[in-house]
Chains A and B, each alone.
Chain A
Amino acid sequence: EAGVVQSPRYKIIEKKQPVAFWCNPISGHNTLYWYRQNLGQGPELLIRYENEEAVDDSQLPKDRFSAERLKGVDSTLKIQPAELGDSAVYLCASSFQQGREQYFGPGTRLTVT
């Protein structure tokens, strides 16, 4: 069974530029999560989807971050414009609805210069 797929794996952009990350969760997983992981820290939740509905986005910086999961499967996380402090690894995870065990993708390492 394929795991959570993310692309790109690495992205380097200049500040003020836009960037987007894509995630394909494990087949059948209704719940999808986006996390940000800074160097030396654990992942921090940005947003959680149940199917196509964002049910927990309280920690998403909405002035520059946006996300969508239009058909309840794939999801895209966007930053516009990027700032230097956005440099981090962006992780996508998925789980069965109401399940607790989350499966993580390999992440996208973003570097903002």
Chain B
Amino acid sequence: GESVGLHLPTLSVQEGDNSIINCAYSNSASDYFIWYKQESGKGPQFIIDIRSNMDKRQGQRVTVLLNKTVKHLSLQIAATQPGDSAVYFCAESYGNNRLAFGKGNQVVVIP
């Protein structure tokens, strides 16, 4: 992965607090959404996904919320840890296995 920290929206969060990262997607026909985490020098790492027939899905310390009415996706990270510092991307897919990535959001965890 690239060092993608420059010129990105940045969320600074205290260790132990909850983080919320937002994403607006573009295609109302998209039926599958993924959140990826990308650390410096690494490729994107799958965090959690959600299909359009759901509006909420929970994983370990993470929750994804989907609002199809306003084409909005969010990722909530509970009890944020220093290892959560990274760039987070949302991606949408509309039936052809092609993922379209949104703009990244940098999360900086303050110890």
Interface residues, chain A, with chain B CB atoms under 8 Å away: 4, 31, 37-45, 48, 56, 88-89, 91, 93, 95, 98-107, 109
Contacts and interface: CB of A to CB of B under 8 A. Distances in A.
Interface string B1-38: 11110111000000000000000000000001010100
The listed residue with most A CB atoms (<10 A of its CB), out of B44, B46, B104, is B44
Chain B contact surface mostly = loop
Given A41-B4, A41-B103, 10 more contacts: A4-B43, A41-B104, A42-B91, A42-B102, A42-B104, A43-B99, A91-B1, A102-B99, A104-B45, A107-B2
A105 B38 CA distance: 11
26 contacts: A37-B1, A37-B2, A38-B2, A39-B4, A40-B2, A41-B101, A42-B91, A43-B89, A45-B99, A56-B96, A88-B2, A89-B1, A91-B43, A95-B97, A98-B97, A99-B97, A100-B93, A101-B34, A102-B46, A104-B43, A106-B1, A106-B41, A106-B43, A107-B2, A107-B42, A107-B43
Interface of B: 1-4, 6-8, 32, 34, 36, 41-46, 49, 89, 91, 93, 96-99, 101-104
Contacts of B36: 104
